Amino acid sequence: MIRRSVREAGAIAGATVFSGAGTDHLPPRADFTLDEVVAAYEEQCSAIEAAGGRIILMASRALAACARSPDDYALVYGRVLAQVRAPVILHWLGEMFDPALAGYWVGAGGLASDPEHARATDVCAAVINANTAKVDGVKVSLLDKDKEIALRARLPRGVRMYTGDDFNFAELIGGDTTGHSDALLGIFDAIAPAASEALTALAPATVRASTPFSLPPCRCPATSSRHRRASTRRAWCSSRGSMAIRRISRWWADSRVRAASCICPSCSGSRMPRDSSAIRISGRHECARSSASMASRCDRRLFNPPLPLRTTH
């Protein structure tokens, strides 16, 4: 898939394909050594570079399992980054998406010793500052805009912040007087045409100067009732990039709380309530009916494929 993507992107002027390099091919164990983690990263990085692609350095469950201190993270990332041919994007995936990554960057003590990710932010910033020439940017998926903005302020000049905040991405992409986050969100895959249109309109400095929440109201010909429908799944206005971004944001927020049919054995097709606490941020849910620990998962997506998105009037 990587080879094919890179090959086909070659026909598009200015296109660059980044692919994830991690350690997920290692067997599930808790006794990895740092050398094994580095070797695993090297294997996947080499494969991507051999295909002509660029690298997103994914967070590693194996590293989270064996790292005992922030120094271990600095060592592993330093060794891997020293070998890459071109700057990479780091991905800090929070425990709300993958519990096995709880306490990432910290080591022994894990999340319990750093519940607000303060030390983790320090370590992540230090790793980036020590390897600035090899880091294009960092994607932060903590679902906390304040933590993302705090780390963004500490990035070296030229290193980008890529938002991974599914709830606050419109505000983070729009930015403020201190800067903005770039868009690198999986949710845009389902709404690519509208997202592309909106981001293109938002890109010019004259638009960027005004945050998404201070632009004048949209005055396009579309009826006002359409713009008042907060639950719409269409981006009605492309004349203002930030307006379209907000429509996308509302559609996404609405889609995450809509009821979904569960097809796991425990539920047997029953329907989840709109306010179900079993809905998971990751796009899956765990059935409260299955056990007290909610251990049984259902792979059904929480939202249906979106309707065709209209980005012009």
pLDDT digits (tens, 9 = 90+) for 56-82: 999 999 999 999 999 999 999 999 999
Task: Label residue 41 exposed, middle or buried (CB < 10 Å: 0-12, 13-18, 19+).
Answer: buried
pLDDT at 92: 98
Q: What pTM did the predictor assign?
A: 0.68
The structural domains of the chain, with segments of one domain joined by +, span 2-165, 209-256
Q: What is the pLDDT of residues 258-310, one digit of tens each?
A: 333 344 444 444 443 333 333 333 333 444 333 333 333 333 333 333 333 33
Query: If pLDDT is split at 50, 70 and 90, which confidence band does 105 have?
Result: very high
C-alpha to C-alpha distance for 116 and 112, rounded to whole angstroms: 9
Q: What is the pLDDT of residues 195-248, one digit of tens each?
A: 888 877 777 655 555 544 333 343 444 434 434 333 333 333 333 344 445 555
C-alpha to C-alpha distance for 176 and 98, rounded to whole angstroms: 30
- Class of CATH domain 2-165: alpha beta
Structure tokens at 130: 């020590």
Cα end-to-end distance, the chain, whole Å: 36
Q: Residue 25 in 3-state DSSP? A: coil
Q: What is the pLDDT of residues 11-34, one digit of tens each?
A: 999 899 999 999 999 988 889 999
Residue 108 has pLDDT above 90, yes or no: no
Looking at 114-123, 168-177, 203-212, 291-300, which range is the least confident one?
Answer: 291-300
C-alpha to C-alpha distance for 102 and 121, rounded to whole angstroms: 13
Nearest to 119 by CA among 58, 56, 71: 71
Sheet of 88-93, strand order: 18-21, 54-57, 88-93, 135-141, 160-163, 182-183
C-alpha to C-alpha distance for 17 and 21, rounded to whole angstroms: 13
pLDDT at 79: 98
